[in-house]
Structure 1
């Protein structure tokens, strides 16, 4: 089941109220300098999914960050927290350095300032008080209007995982209700304010809120030993035929591993995503560290990169490998989450093997 951070269907690009604690203050108060820095960081870490100009849908249904309805309803706190902590279990990584990513708090503030620079309309001031409703009463309503995109239990299909713990930690009832009612013009997310009664909107909000669980703990610091990378080091070298000169099906990779064939799998996601779950035998080599991996990779064994996007981040890593002369290199075509959904071996934590 495809997992995504943001949506194109019901409750696309949902936004939140202020969290209990505000993000740390900016170090540099110069807004023009912050926007300039943020633009460079956005291009490096965000554009592959959200588009160079925030137009969205470049990879895995990532939302339109430049959408007017999104910008006027999203708070700086929501944007900062989403960048820092991501959406575990989806392609949206936690980019904060303290959460297994690579960005400092100043850099995340700069990205928020750059995204905010697209806003033309005044921000909304919605009530963040809890909304009373009956989640049980909304089950059929949700199944009819929401489940096709968001999944039967909010797990996400082609839209936001509504049951994601960090999303629900950051999104207030009022913001959830507003997104359902108003929709996102210019996307496939419709407005339901003229289709549903106030009571039904409240009930849907309550149903979604009922999925809230405790968010995952902050991961421990981790940096992989890139020199430890071979799978089946005593086996014969695997051989693959690329699709479109880039892609290798998950089934073929799994079959090669099961047959004892030698290859390298590089997890191009952040270290935090790797700790949450990764393919058994893979080495953590975030795309922003790929130059370090290149220094120790063999040139006579297939090197396969993967991410959850399923091609955006792994594609960047592949391009760097190709530029360095690694001809036997490709991308796990369907991405990590399809591998997981097919029941192929994954691990949680730092270790490559059980």
Structure 2
């Protein structure tokens, strides 16, 4: 090979090397992963769950998904169903593609597995925990007494707020929550907000399964039929409520 050929080969190699490292050229490992192929739990959770449930499953407006009591009473099938199809009538949307969402079944499974990894079953040993779902409907009339015993100290005698907590009979709040949500909060509390779980509302006296169901029944009975701000209906001259 003459010197001109050698010079040409060397120049071509240098040019190719320079192009592969030129400014603005994407690196081999910088390819964007299509949204439906993302399987990392932290990424999926941050993009789809953290806005409501908080970073790392706590501190948000919705149920703290990393709460040990919550994870001790709820099963993976319920978590998966809720993530997939949402909860109609509440702010919880459906995330599965089959229900109109953006996530594949495999991504839903990854989220469920990641949430389950936060569980701490060792905290409860052989303790008998309340059932996640009620087996029998509660009694709203008996719920008045149970509420007075376990809840009124913080939320006030009529549920409209006290010195330590706000109203839990607000019509808009109740319209946005399901009975299951109310039951879950009664059981697990909101520790990050200072609300105790079912064991610690009254020192040394846990709520019984009947107490829990009865309080939920009473709260549900306070839910307005037509939530929303009052408005005047000029045709009849009476106050009505407008559904948002």
TM-score by length of 2: 0.52
TM-superposition CA deviations, 1:146-188 (whole Å, max 9, x none): 644574388626x97243xxx37xx9xxxx48x6356343333
Which structure is higher in RCO with an 8 Å CA cutoff and minimum separation 6? 1
Instruction: State the Cα distance separating 1:104 from its structure 2 match.
Output: 2.3
Name the SS of the counterpart of 1:193 in structure 2: coil
Residue 313 (structure 1) aligns with:
none
Instruction: State the Cα distance separating 1:108 from its structure 2 match.
Output: 1.0
Name the SS of the counterpart of 1:53 in structure 2: helix
Runs of 4+ in 1 over 6 A off after TM superposition: 196-200
TM-score by length of 1: 0.38
The change in CA–CA distance for 1:94 and 1:184 in structure 2 (over 3 A counts) is same
How large is the RMSD of aligned CA atoms in angstroms?
A: 4.4
The change in CA–CA distance for 1:150 and 1:92 in structure 2 (over 3 A counts) is farther
Instruction: State the Cα distance separating 1:36 from its structure 2 match.
Output: 5.2
1:1-354 matches, cutoff 5 A? 37-57=40-60, 61-122=61-122, 126=129, 128=131, 130-131=135-136, 134-139=139-144, 141-142=146-147, 145=152, 147-148=159-160, 151-152=168-169, 156=173, 161-163=177-179, 167=180, 176=183, 180=186, 183-193=189-199, 195=202, 202-206=210-214, 208=216, 341=229
Instruction: State the Cα distance separating 1:342 from its structure 2 match.
Output: 7.9
CA distance in 2, matches of 1:94, 1:113: 18
The change in CA–CA distance for 1:182 and 1:104 in structure 2 (over 3 A counts) is closer
The change in CA–CA distance for 1:68 and 1:126 in structure 2 (over 3 A counts) is closer
TM-superposition CA deviations, 1:243-267 (whole Å, max 9, x none): xxxxxxxxxxxxxxxxxxxxxxxxx
CA distance in 1, matches of 2:123, 2:96: 25
CA distance in 1, matches of 2:51, 2:170: 29
Instruction: State the Cα distance separating 1:75 from its structure 2 match.
Output: 1.6
Contact 2:187 2:212 in 1 (8 A): no
Normalized per residue, which structure has more helix?
2
CA distance in 2, matches of 1:204, 1:182: 11
Contact 1:84 1:94 in 2 (8 A): yes
The change in CA–CA distance for 1:133 and 1:207 in structure 2 (over 3 A counts) is same
Contact 2:46 2:55 in 1 (8 A): yes
Contact 2:144 2:215 in 1 (8 A): yes
Larger radius of gyration: 2
> 5+ residue gaps in structure 1?
1-34, 213-336, 348-354
Alignment length (residue pairs): 174
Name the SS of the counterpart of 1:77 in structure 2: helix
TM-superposition CA deviations, 1:107-142 (whole Å, max 9, x none): 111111111122233497757572575332213544
